[in-house]
């Protein structure tokens, strides 16, 4: 990937990992677009949706998994 742009940086950030991989990190619920320009001249556009989390539900699942440990 030659260049990467994020439409809404409050929703997601992008970091390169090596020459051929990207890591997307969600920051807030919402929708955005990640645009990638490739070294060969191509271009890719990806729609990204970040969902909010329900911490109470997650805690309940984790507590259930840890019972008896």
Handedness of CA 65, 55, 15, 37 (dihedral sign): positive
CA angle 62, 67, 69 (to 5 degrees): 105
Residues 11-25 have a mean pLDDT of: 92
* 34-63 pLDDT tens trace: 999 998 899 999 999 998 888 888 888 899
Q: What is the pLDDT of residue 5?
A: 96
Mean pLDDT of the chain: 91
56 phi and psi angles, rounded to 5 deg: -65, -40
Q: What does DSSP say about strands 3-6 and 30-37: parallel, antiparallel, or unpaired?
A: antiparallel
Is the full-model pTM beyond 0.85? no
């Amino acid at each position: 990937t030659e260049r990467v742009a994020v439409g809404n940086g409050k929703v997601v950030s992008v970091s390169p990992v090596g020459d051929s991989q990207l890591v997307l990190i969600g920051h807030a619920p919402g929708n955005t677009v990640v645009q990638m320009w490739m070294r060969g001249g191509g271009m890719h556009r990806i729609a990204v949706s970040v969902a909010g989390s329900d911490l109470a539900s997650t805690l309940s699942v984790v507590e259930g998994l840890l019972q008896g440990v």
